[in-house]
Amino acid sequence: MMIILSGLEHSLAPIDLRERLSFTKRQTIEMVRQIRSFPHIAGCVLISTCNRTELYVSCTEETDPGQLLCQAAGTAYTPYRDAFMTLREKDAVRHLMEVASGLRSRIWGEDQIISQVKGAVALAREAGGTDSVLETLFRSAISAGKEVKTKVRLTSVPTSAAGMAVALLKEKFENLAGKKALVIGNGEMGRLSASLLRQAGCEVWVTLRTYRHGETIVPPGCGVVPYDERFTRMDGCDLLISATTSPHYTVTADQLAALSSPPSVLVDLAIPRDIQPEAGALPGISLYNIDDLGNFSENRIVPPEVDEILASQMENFYRWLNYKDCMTSVDSLKQAIVERLYTLKEMNEGLSEAEIIALSVDKTVDLMVTGLAERINSENLMKCESKIRLHTTSRPVIF
């Protein structure tokens, strides 16, 4: 079984390419179902976030996950050929560990990536796309991410896109106290953005498409405006953040230009983008997208303690994988021993049942010890003997 990953990562693929292969939860489930049905694919998990779209597959033959993803999405592969990063086996495993630990994010050590990795494997499971290899791999990666988060301080700057967005706005306005802000979107990113703006002293409104009492969460201190009335509330605001999962623009350049007093600073936290890029060319307006937040550098130095955590989790995963592979061989070995037992019984009809068993065990153990000569040692043999004696039973063998 091979583990292969192909992905579009923010450090290699520009935002206009990433947003074309960005998927909602429902779309992700459909992609996983399609890809899992392709030949030689034993399991697959698709991660789709603002920073990356990555497809992990466990497969029985060499394959190109990038091509499979484009095929499932109904889009041409050629524009992405040089943008996809493809890694195999231990390189793919290490990469996922780094992703879950926030080491591959534009915002160094970002907070949300662990929940995004959890969400990806949960969606794949719902779609029937995972197998034991990917389930265990993602569980190990999530454990690595949690351990890094709790034991190592990677940075002192904000570790979420929303936090970086508010930091940028503070830089632009110097003081956010009393500024009027509109946040389009009431998902996790939108709520966090609104909360941070409110903490900074802004007067904040959040858009809602629908309101269900007891179910809809509105950040404390924030006003609410229906999504369809967003431009009425936007007129006169100082700043705008948009963070939705909409496949269409929530704000176009023409809609913004029609306002008598549009926001002077716009921050687009969505992939695909919420705000039409041309809006940034309007007089007096500055537009920032997700790639403008944080500074990603391949030269970031990973602390030694992080390397130790990742190495330990990788070792745990490969120990499990080796055990899993061995169990398949053990089943075949058991069958071979049973077959040999019957063969010896037929060849030595004059021997008693106990003599046949003794002869079979003697030959089988000799062959096994010879085959494992390079790895076997007396300490492990003694442990094996102790376990055998502990589980010895008087139940007779029935031929």
So which residues are the catalytic ones? 50
- Sign of the torsion angle spanned by Cα atoms 181, 187, 192, 198: positive
Order the strands of the 52-59 sheet from edge to edge: 41-48, 52-59, 2-9, 85-88
**How far, CA to CA in Å, does 119 sit from each of 58, 100, 116, 355?**
19, 12, 5, 58
Q: Which residues pair with 204 in a beta bridge?
A: 181
For the beta carbon of residue 29, count every other beta carbon within 10 angstroms: 18
> DSSP labels for 312-380?
HHHHHHHHHHHHHHHHHHHHHHHHHHHHHHHHHHHH-TTS-HHHHHHHHHHHHHHHHHHHTTTT--HHH
**Cβ atoms of residues 238 and 181 within 8 Å:** yes
Amino acid at site 115:
S
Asked if residues 32 and 123 have their Cβ atoms less than 8 Å apart, the reply is yes
**What is the distance between the terminal CA atoms of the chain, rounded to a whole angstrom?**
36
44 beta partners: 57
**Which residue spans within 185-314 are E strands per DSSP?**
203-208, 223-226, 239-242, 265-268, 286-289
| H/E element, 389 | helix 378-390
